[in-house]
Structure 1
Amino acid sequence: MKNLLLTAAVVFYAGIYTPVYSQKAETPKFISNTEGIKEYSLSNGMKVLLLSDPSQSNAVVNIVYNVGSKHEGYGEKGMAHLLEHMLFKSTKKLGDIKKMLSDKGGNANGTTWYDRTNYYEVFPSNDENMKWFLEMEADRMINATILQSDLDKEFSVVRNEFEIGENSPSGVLMERIVSTAYLWHNYGNSTIGSKEDVERVKAVTLRKFYEKYYQPDNATLIVAGKFDEKKTLEYISQFFSTIPKPSRVLEAPYTVEPPQDGERFVELKRAGDSKVVGALYHTAPYADKDYAALDALQEILTADPSGYLYKAMIDSQKAASVYAYQPLVRDASFMYFGLEVPADKDIKATETEFRKELDKVATIKYTEQDVARAKAKILKQIENIKNNTIGSAINLTEIVGAGSYKLGMLYRDNIEKLTVADVQKVADKYFKVNNRTVGVFIPTKDEVRVKNVEYSNEQIASLTDNYKGKALEKETAPFEASIKNLKANLVEGKLSNGMKYGLIKKEIKGGKVLGSFRFPVSNNKDLNGKSDVGSLMAQVLKTGTKSKTKEQIQDMLDGLKSNVNFGFGGQTLYVNFSTYKENLPKVMGLIKEILTESTFPEAELAKTVNEYNTYLEGSLNDPQSIAFNEIEKITQNYPKESIYYTNSTKEQIENNKKVKRDQLVDFYNKILGSNNGVGSIVGDVDGKEATALLESTFGKWDSKSKYEYIKPELFATKKQDKEYLTPDKENGAAVGKISFSMDRKSPDYPALVIANEMLGSGGFLTARIPTRLREKEGISYGAGSYVNIPIESNVASWGWYAFYNPTKKDAVNKALKEEVNKAVKDGFTEEEYKSNLTSWLNSRKTGLGNDNTLMNLVNGQLQYGVPLEEYDALEAKVSALKVSQVNDVLRKYISEDKLTSVFAGDFNKK
């Protein structure tokens, strides 16, 4: 489930079998406390890391196994990833893991990469939950069933995942370049694997792989968030320490990629609409000091707007976007550059120009400002990750896979100490033509070749064993995830111009402060035909003010370890920020400057349109984009000037080309304003100071256009299926929609919410639609349903979606409609209702542990008058329902006779 987020909610399960092993339980041995990460070990070889954060209401259990695609042998390509899928099936002791995860809830996922595989679960924190999730991970470490019958179904799901990736020209090109750059090391193999190996591997072979690598001496258990440390250690002792250390000895992989001996070139020809150029250089392992310098160098080269490659290729409009990527890995890594090229540009000429610019990298004289700018951005990212405890625990997966969790701290230290000389050294060392993959072999004499750096486990241990890290930070205060507690810590107010705001008093790790603002503006007359102008205006907002260039704005944000983002859709401007308590005044000042003094440079508009249109060109023949776009077009009948009109991709490209700078300026000056807006801030901020900052920022910023809500129209859907052919695309997409009248005050709303949960959106892939399409028939990697019930209008809809091999289109259509008709005809069972109700309730509990959820709830109260108590009231209404009421509401609104469906894919494939 490499790129699949699997979500559900928590129920407590009695009578779980407790495995009994011959080995006696032992207390985990304390090793160290490094920067708040407490390290323990067990005698069976398992490592344990604890990251406590009382300010969280959630906890996460993340177990990392040191096995990934790097460890696969001949005929085993994709086995680590396939095994990851299989471990969501069942165990000998607990049974159906996927169903129980669905019942237990939270957010759960598994991922596979070059050096490691991990499984994690985020859930509302309490002792019973913690005990169950630790017991479950201990059980599936050694008791997975890995049945051939399960494998027969799952391989097609993994194949479908493979096919989804095959639809991306830039992704496929990168895969080909990486595989060409590596002759021997397994980093050259795609983690998702060979389709043929995945299809042909037998369960008995997969089990040998499992039994070799899924053992305590090859695992690191990470627990983070809010938890009782003493009890958690007791659970770890109970469930993990009793698992014996295996008798087999794991030999560390010893293949080292030899120095590349000439530039290599890949030419990929296949269907698609995007033009892409890629280039790869072999670099250093994460443990090496050069890795940090290389990360800084890639930022110096590609950052928007200051990067050398960005200026050479994007400012000149020779390309639409440039990016770089260096995987965080155990062995010698690589740096990959991608260049998106507009459709009207000559790909060969652009490739030649890009090579010339890459050839200059080793000769550029980098400046102190270059390095300071890169360090600021990277350190901001490090700080933001560190202060998101749940995310930080999951992020540790890669670092643990690279050798040791302490390597992340050493990497940070290396960034902090970085000098111009360090950057200059790695540019000269690695950026050689014969270390690059984009071209052909050219024999030359006296080549100075780059030798890959190799680190042994002992070398990494010598780097990390005695590393003490920085001083421990102050623990944040607990914050209960409940509406009652949110209300107790909320202060609401109104600015002088009428804008409403809410301040949520909550300590966030590191003193972080978040803000979310919505500014509804204008009316139907003044916004008529201006949707594209508004969208581009928001995209260009941050590109320059009267006193700051785009580069200076970005440098300031990086220096403040802050982010500010703008977006415009419908008739609302969205502003969001992330900063730290001490930097809040400067960030709010910058927001005010951007909202009142932006200059919209002509060149930046041209670059934005160029980049946006190149992105759109890449989706012209993409099945998913077509399916979701067309379902809106054929189920609505708005005039083109309406803010609710859905452009086709071609229309959007043409409209973007027509937008002029003076239109952006006019929209900015006449339409925008905060006098009808709402916003909320969460963090440990002083109420008076925050109010003063909000007044200074927004209090006098009024729109010249009168605000009037533009009501959407209800267009009835009808029974129809439409097909769109996308030649030579490996994957297909389907989406369906039924429109009807309902708002959230409707007495039918609670029943429809839980009906949709049971039909397609709830559970850990155990709702009816995903269970049928993915679990039972294996014809879709992702399938489900959704319901959209608005607050302000009564234009509602229910829909479904599925991604599949185009040859399975008829099977997908048949299965989907059979499940819908069966639910409508026979209804749901009492058991289904109770199971999904518990899942749904606990998923909402998990949601309350998210700061963005808190801000959205407060903003909803401020904007629409929806009291915070409605969150609990909805749960009470859903809990009080009888299953017969749910079935009646389902039949009232959902019917195949009203279902419009769109299918996109290459249906000529056999």
Structure 2
Amino acid sequence: MKNLLLAAAVVFYAGYASPVIAQKAETPKFISNTEGIKEYSLSNGMKVLLIPDASQSNAVINIVYNVGSKNEGYGEKGMAHLLEHMLFKSTKKLGDIKKMLSDKGGNANGTTWYDRTNYYEVFPSNEENLKWFLAMEADRMVNATILQTDLDKEFSVVRNEFEIGENNPGSVLQERIVSSAYLWHNYGNSTIGSKEDIERVKAPTLRKFYEKYYQPDNATLIVAGKFDEKKTLDYISEYFSTIPKPSRVIDPDYTLEPAQDGERFVELKRSGDSKVIGALYHTAPYADKDYAALDALAEILTADPSGYLYKAMIDSHKAAAVYAYQPLVRDASYMYFGLEVPADKDVKATENEFRAELDKVATIKYTQQDVDRAKAKILKQLENIKNNTIGFAINLTEIIGAGNYKLGFLYRDTVEKLTLADVQRVAEKYFRTNNRTIGVFIPAKDEVRVKNVEYSNEQIASLTKDYKGKALEKEAAPFEASIKNLKANLTEGKLSNGMKYGVIKKEIKGGKVLGSFRFPVSNAKDLSAKSDIGSLMAQVLKTGTKSHTKEQIQDMLDQWKSNVNFGYGGQTFFVNFSTYKESLPKVMDLIKEILTESTFPEAELAKTINEYNTYLESSLNDPQSIAFSEIERITENYPKESIYYTPSTKEQIESYKKVKREQLVDFYNKILGSNNGVGTIVGDVDTKAASTLLEGTFAKWNSKSKYEYIKPELFATKKQDKEYLTPDKENGAAVGKISFSMDRKSPDYPALVIANEMLGSGGFLTARIPTRLREKEGISYGAGSFVNVPIDNNVASWSWYAFFNPTKKDAVNKALKEEVNKAVKDGFTEEEFKSNLTSWLNSRKTGLGNDNTLMGLVNSQLQYGQSLDEYDALEAKVSALKVSQVNDVLRKYISEDKLTSVFAGDFNKK
């Protein structure tokens, strides 16, 4: 969903200066500058972090409260998460918060976890936006209304969110394992909570929780991206320093999970198509040095292709996928392993084999290469996060929840210093059978038990107090988010084989360089019945070349802090990379090597098919998968050999099983090539040097198959509702579609875009469809609409979707049809049009702050000849519309008589 801006709301709020009880304002006190994070504090206890980045065109405000599901008491399970939802309702000063957030544009959200709750907004950087969002967050910190009438509607939405999670066997199994592993500590409770508690909690109880924890002395405010630091501090002083420090004291948590005294076992039996095994070990808090060593060990054990568990379970085809992760939390954490088992495997036998492999973890003699490889991957991830300022500011949420933002730097420093001895030590310390939850209880004597580590606030303060961090990096230059500026910094060219390219000169934090390439290939005859071959070919592509193994390729990318990804769909082969300026030549050489020397190992193809089909088997009875797949099958009538044919899940599974290595090699050698392709690089790179690199990489890589564009066909939709039963699934899904003829040159296109915004796509869940289904009736967690109008053909469509409790199917269907018919009959109002226009324009401004958006626009210009000026031209056309024109276009294309809908769920539930 996009979030939108309403001009009237800005006018309403412009004079709002003091959100709470007036008291003398104070200037935030400067504390430190740690690697570009400027820390301040207020006397009311609130912490402030400023992370300026002039190269951004957007800014983000993220406020973190040190409260999560860990703080919930008896009968309160899910209260922290429910309260998060309620803070999007209204305040005493502002009124409808969700509507104003929707009106304001950008991206806004809130999340809850074990130790923290956060609320963030990403928006186009300007003083008005900055001032409004800061004032709004200060207001809802202490002035949320938390009305019982709002709660009565919202609890069913949260319950619906709960039910969506209940459809996933892997998620439910993990929840059961975690709850069995923790007897006393609240990490054993799911953050989504108990459905019974969610349904029964009353507004006064929720308010007590809110008034205790939503206070300045329990909050950290982060402002990052492009902003004026002095004005920001002035606004923080004006809005937040006037909030008094509460008289109540939040006592430190003192519950410590006792050492586990034997292996525990959980068996879950319920509807589903997946076979999943999970295992959990108690570990250390994020503040402890063992946490980093354990993260490295997880990578050593599960990495594809070098991991010990990966080799034992995946290379042997005993399982389809294995993964591990360690939650980033304040108190003693855990490491969770997940194993996905193919349908044709005995889950009990696989469980015993997995347990046997886990038993070896403490005794394996790890190597220095293992440690170096894991460190390289982790440090690459940390570097990439740090150099995405907006994402970095949001990512700090978890670290603040764990005790202090500086712990993130200490973690990185610990990773850099990790030794082989550290990894060996934690493997021996934590990977004991009596510290594991997977199976039955086994009596044993003389157990050496693992005691959880406890850190006090004073210890964390001591750890972080004098930490200075590394030297500050060079700041990236500003880059205005506009088409004019994009054109001014764009250089286009053509390689000797005809491939077109663009280079966007733009400094990205850390010297990062991104690339995105599209290669249209072949023709209908040569691609007949080869969609699955192309898809698998792209996935197996970087699993080995004549010069390097899969393991060596991954090691090189990790050392270079780079990523290279390949994909194939329809008639297009995709290549994308992320690297840094100094590694760009090496990455381009590697891409060339992969594109011209790949060997497609038989074993890797088998593993990929196994992984794909295991995933597909898990979705055989999934309502969402069925709904979105079947709507295409019902509304389109392509032959099976067409690139546009949508197979059923069972057909897809059988098709993958039949693919042979020789088919991949043939596709690779005959179909792929760059001579009809386009690509864009963005970063602070020399244009001539980039041109030389592209020439050397792609100019001699040409397809042997003649390229001819395969046009899709237009199949008329009709009034039809079709049901698919998915027994014992807690949530249902619905998708509808209307097909029609239109391309983006159509004079009706601008009006249809804004009509869809008002009907179901725009706003923070306040467009007509989500407002009716979620806000007014509380019968859907997620609902909305979207349009698909292509550039290169005229096969267009409008679609709607909703996720709901299966017992609400008729209510969802009725509400959807009524909203569509009402819009068609009565039209939209002038007020709706103006407010959605403003917010739509702001959302597009936000989009221009994204590097992937910039590359996509340039690639479309190169591939389709669609001028960059069309971006601004569309905005001008939409802005010039009259609401009567929008209503006419809506009536022309949208009608219940043409609407085909699919409903999937357990509709026998009562």
Same fold, judged at TM 0.5 (above): yes
Query: What SS does structure 2 have at the residue aligned with 1:787?
Result: strand
Matches within 5 A, 1:688-767: 688-767=688-767
- Map Cα deviations across residues 773-810 of structure 1 (whole Å, 9 max, x no partner): 00000000000000000000000000000000000000
Contact 1:86/1:146 (CA < 8 Å) preserved in 2? yes
Show the counterpart of 2:641. 641
What's the offset of the Cα at 1:444? Answer: 1.2
2:87 paired with 1:87:
yes
CA distance, structure 2, for counterparts of residue 764 and residue 280 of structure 1: 37
Matches within 5 A, 1:809-828: 809-828=809-828
Show the counterpart of 2:839. 839
In structure 1, give the amino acid aligned to 2:386. K
2:22 paired with 1:14:
no
CA distance, structure 2, for counterparts of residue 7 and residue 108 of structure 1: 7
CA distance, structure 1, for counterparts of residue 551 and residue 695 of structure 2: 28
2:663 paired with 1:663:
yes
CA distance, structure 2, for counterparts of residue 390 and residue 20 of structure 1: 28
Contact 2:3/2:103 (CA < 8 Å) preserved in 1? no
CA distance, structure 2, for counterparts of residue 94 and residue 721 of structure 1: 42
2:573 paired with 1:577:
no
Show the counterpart of 1:163. 163
CA distance, structure 1, for counterparts of residue 78 and residue 523 of structure 2: 54
- Map Cα deviations across residues 424-465 of structure 1 (whole Å, 9 max, x no partner): 000000000000001122221110000000000000000001
Show the counterpart of 1:228. 228
In structure 2, give the amino acid aligned to 1:39. E
What's the offset of the Cα at 1:751? Answer: 0.2
What's the offset of the Cα at 1:883? Answer: 0.2
Task: Return structure 1 stretches of 4+ with deviation > 4 angstroms.
Answer: 9-12
CA distance, structure 2, for counterparts of residue 550 and residue 272 of structure 1: 34
What's the offset of the Cα at 1:8? Answer: 3.0
CA distance, structure 2, for counterparts of residue 357 and residue 618 of structure 1: 25
CA distance, structure 2, for counterparts of residue 41 and residue 23 of structure 1: 17
Show the counterpart of 2:496. 496
CA distance, structure 2, for counterparts of residue 442 and residue 535 of structure 1: 46
2:522 paired with 1:519:
no
Query: What SS does structure 2 have at the residue aligned with 1:567?
Result: strand
Query: What SS does structure 1 have at the residue aligned with 2:292?
Result: helix
Query: What SS does structure 1 have at the residue aligned with 2:255?
Result: coil
Show the counterpart of 1:651. 651
CA distance, structure 2, for counterparts of residue 776 and residue 343 of structure 1: 42
Query: What SS does structure 1 have at the residue aligned with 2:577?
Result: strand
Show the counterpart of 2:464. 464
Contact 1:518/1:678 (CA < 8 Å) preserved in 2? yes
Pick closer, same or farther for the CA change 1:9–1:342 going to 2, 3 Å. Answer: farther
Contact 1:28/1:40 (CA < 8 Å) preserved in 2? yes
Show the counterpart of 1:305. 305
CA distance, structure 2, for counterparts of residue 391 and residue 544 of structure 1: 33
Query: What SS does structure 2 have at the residue aligned with 1:119?
Result: strand
CA distance, structure 1, for counterparts of residue 49 and residue 342 of structure 2: 47
Matches within 5 A, 1:550-629: 550-629=550-629
Show the counterpart of 1:853. 853
- Map Cα deviations across residues 743-782 of structure 1 (whole Å, 9 max, x no partner): 0000000000000000000011110000000000000000
2:793 paired with 1:797:
no
What's the offset of the Cα at 1:21? Answer: 2.3
Show the counterpart of 1:44. 44
Show the counterpart of 2:403. 403
What's the offset of the Cα at 1:253? Answer: 1.1
What's the offset of the Cα at 1:693? Answer: 0.4
What's the offset of the Cα at 1:6? Answer: 6.2
Query: What SS does structure 2 have at the residue aligned with 1:40?
Result: strand
Query: What SS does structure 2 have at the residue aligned with 1:31?
Result: strand
Contact 2:2/2:843 (CA < 8 Å) preserved in 1? no
CA distance, structure 2, for counterparts of residue 85 and residue 591 of structure 1: 45
Pick closer, same or farther for the CA change 1:227–1:10 going to 2, 3 Å. Answer: farther
What's the offset of the Cα at 1:131? Answer: 0.3
- Map Cα deviations across residues 210-262 of structure 1 (whole Å, 9 max, x no partner): 00000000000000000000000000000000000000000111100000000
Give the RMSD, CA atoms, in angstroms. Answer: 0.7
Show the counterpart of 1:377. 377
Of 601-610 and 13-22, more deviation after overlay is shown by 13-22
Show the counterpart of 1:284. 284
CA distance, structure 2, for counterparts of residue 867 and residue 452 of structure 1: 60
CA distance, structure 1, for counterparts of residue 26 and residue 526 of structure 2: 71
- Map Cα deviations across residues 22-57 of structure 1 (whole Å, 9 max, x no partner): 321000000000000000000000000000000000
CA distance, structure 2, for counterparts of residue 345 and residue 7 of structure 1: 46
- Map Cα deviations across residues 59-89 of structure 1 (whole Å, 9 max, x no partner): 0000000000000000000000000000000
Show the counterpart of 2:363. 363
- Map Cα deviations across residues 394-425 of structure 1 (whole Å, 9 max, x no partner): 00000000000000000000000000000000
Contact 1:284/1:333 (CA < 8 Å) preserved in 2? yes
What's the offset of the Cα at 1:9? Answer: 4.4
2:782 paired with 1:782:
yes
CA distance, structure 1, for counterparts of residue 708 and residue 251 of structure 2: 69
Query: What SS does structure 2 have at the residue aligned with 1:593?
Result: helix
CA distance, structure 2, for counterparts of residue 239 and residue 504 of structure 1: 40
Query: What SS does structure 2 have at the residue aligned with 1:542?
Result: coil
CA distance, structure 2, for counterparts of residue 24 and residue 833 of structure 1: 42
CA distance, structure 2, for counterparts of residue 901 and residue 21 of structure 1: 52
CA distance, structure 2, for counterparts of residue 267 and residue 652 of structure 1: 30
Contact 1:10/1:843 (CA < 8 Å) preserved in 2? no
Show the counterpart of 1:454. 454
Show the counterpart of 1:146. 146
Contact 2:2/2:761 (CA < 8 Å) preserved in 1? no
CA distance, structure 2, for counterparts of residue 573 and residue 439 of structure 1: 45
Contact 2:6/2:835 (CA < 8 Å) preserved in 1? no
CA distance, structure 2, for counterparts of residue 644 and residue 9 of structure 1: 37
Contact 2:20/2:139 (CA < 8 Å) preserved in 1? no
Aligned residues: 906
- Map Cα deviations across residues 567-590 of structure 1 (whole Å, 9 max, x no partner): 000010011000000000000000
CA distance, structure 1, for counterparts of residue 718 and residue 127 of structure 2: 50
CA distance, structure 1, for counterparts of residue 252 and residue 160 of structure 2: 32
Show the counterpart of 1:547. 547
Show the counterpart of 2:532. 532
CA distance, structure 2, for counterparts of residue 98 and residue 414 of structure 1: 42
Query: What SS does structure 1 have at the residue aligned with 2:541?
Result: helix
2:318 paired with 1:321:
no
CA distance, structure 1, for counterparts of residue 161 and residue 338 of structure 2: 23
Contact 2:3/2:104 (CA < 8 Å) preserved in 1? no
Consecutive unaligned residues of structure 2, counting only runs of 5 or more, are none
CA distance, structure 2, for counterparts of residue 20 and residue 758 of structure 1: 34
Query: What SS does structure 1 have at the residue aligned with 2:265?
Result: coil
What's the offset of the Cα at 1:311? Answer: 0.1
What's the offset of the Cα at 1:141? Answer: 0.1
CA distance, structure 2, for counterparts of residue 389 and residue 298 of structure 1: 27
Show the counterpart of 1:75. 75
Contact 2:502/2:681 (CA < 8 Å) preserved in 1? yes
Contact 1:532/1:656 (CA < 8 Å) preserved in 2? yes
Pick closer, same or farther for the CA change 1:144–1:771 going to 2, 3 Å. Answer: same
What's the offset of the Cα at 1:20? Answer: 5.0
CA distance, structure 2, for counterparts of residue 637 and residue 417 of structure 1: 59
CA distance, structure 1, for counterparts of residue 384 and residue 3 of structure 2: 24
What's the offset of the Cα at 1:10? Answer: 6.9
